[in-house]
Amino acid sequence: MIRRKWITNIFYIPAILLFLFFVIYPFIEGIRISFTNWNGYSQQYKYIGMANYLKMFQDENILTALKNTLIYGVGSTIIQNVLGLSYAILLNTKMKGRTLIRTVVYAPVMISGLVMGYIMYFLVQYDGGALNDILTALGVAPIDWLSDGNRAVIIMTLINSIQYVGISMVIYLAGLQNISSQYYEAAAIDGVSGWQQFRYITVPLLIPAISSSVTLNLIGGLKLFDVIQALTKGGPGYASHSLSTLVANQYFQATNAGYSATIGLFSFVLIMILSNIVTTYFNKKEVYM
C-alpha cells in the first residue's frame, strides 16, 4: 500500500557502519592475526600458519582457563536460577517487606563487577578479612581463601552469582505474575498438590523466563572478567584465569598478540555454541497456551 517505505532503511546505515568498522573488521583482522606471531606493537611479524592453534590445544593453561570458564558460566547459571526462582516465588506472595527484599537483592546489579570484587576482598582477605574473623571467633584457624586456584574459582563463582541473582529474580517475578491464577484454581479443584502444580503449571509456563534468565546468566558467567581482575588477576599462577582474562593477559602481559587473538576466537566460538544449544533447547520446550 505504502510505496517508498524502504527509504527509511537509511536510518540503520550509521549502525551498520559502526558494526562493520568496529566489530566485523576487527573480527576478520583477528582471524588474520591468529595466524601470525605478532607481539602486539612491533611493525614486523611473520605468518606462522596453524602454530598458534596447535599450541593452544597443547597448552595446560588453556585447559585450566576453559575448565574455569565453564565453572564460572555453568556454576553461576545454576546458582542464580535456583536462588532467583526461589526469591521470585517468595516475592510473589503477599508478604510485607517484599519491596525491601527486591531492593536489597537487586541493588548489587548496579555496582560494577570490579568494585564488587574489591568489596568482597574485605570478606575473603587473609589478614583481618570478615570471613576469617568469624573463623577465629569460632576457634578455627583462618584460611587464605584465594591461595588455592580451585577454591578461588568457586569463591568467584559465588560472588558473581550473589551479585547478579537479582536479574534472574526480577525476570522470574515478571514471569510468575503473567501466569493466570485460573490455572491454579482449576488445579486446586481437581485436587492437584502444591508440588505438582509447580511441576506441571508453573514450570512449563515459565519456560520463556527460564530461557531468558539461563541465557543471560550463562553468557554473563562465561564472559566473567571484572571480578577475576579484582581478586586474583588469574592467579595463583594461571589457576583461576577465565578465557577472557587470559586473552587480556596474553596480549598485554605476555605480549603475544597472535596467540591472544587465537584464544579470543576460541572463546567466541565456545560462547556461540553453548548459547545456541541452550536457546534451541528452550525453544523446543516452549508451550503455547
- Taking the C-alpha atoms of residue 106 and residue 211, their distance in angstroms, rounded to an integer, is 20
Q: Which three cell numbers stand for residue 113?
A: 563487577
Locate all alpha helices (DSSP H) within 125-256, ordered by sequence.
130-137, 149-177, 181-189, 194-197, 203-205, 207-222, 226-231, 243-248
CB of 279 to other proteins, least distance (A): 10
- Taking the C-alpha atoms of residue 54 and residue 56, their distance in angstroms, rounded to an integer, is 5
| Short-list 247, 205, 201, CA closest to 69 | 247
Residues 171-190 that bind other proteins (CB under 8 A): 171, 174-175
- Closer to other proteins by CB, 122 or 200: give it: 122
Taking a C-beta distance cutoff of 8 angstroms, is the pair 274, 218 a contact? yes
Window of 4-12, 58-66, 149-157, 190-198 that interacts with other proteins by CB under 8 A: 4-12
Window of 94-102, 150-158, 184-192, 196-204 that interacts with other proteins by CB under 8 A: 94-102
> Site mask, other proteins, residues 137-176, x = CB under 8 A?
-------------------------x----x--xx--xx-
Window of 46-54, 72-80, 145-153, 266-274 that interacts with other proteins by CB under 8 A: 266-274
Q: Which helix (H) or strand (E) holds 108?
A: none
CB of 109 to other proteins, least distance (A): 8
- Taking the C-alpha atoms of residue 243 and residue 162, their distance in angstroms, rounded to an integer, is 22
Residues 104-123 that bind other proteins (CB under 8 A): 104-116, 118-123
CB of 55 to other proteins, least distance (A): 16
Residues 188-217 that bind other proteins (CB under 8 A): 208-209, 212-213, 216
Candidates 92, 225, 255, 278; binder of other proteins (CB under 8 A) is 225
* Three-class secondary structure of residue 111 per DSSP: coil
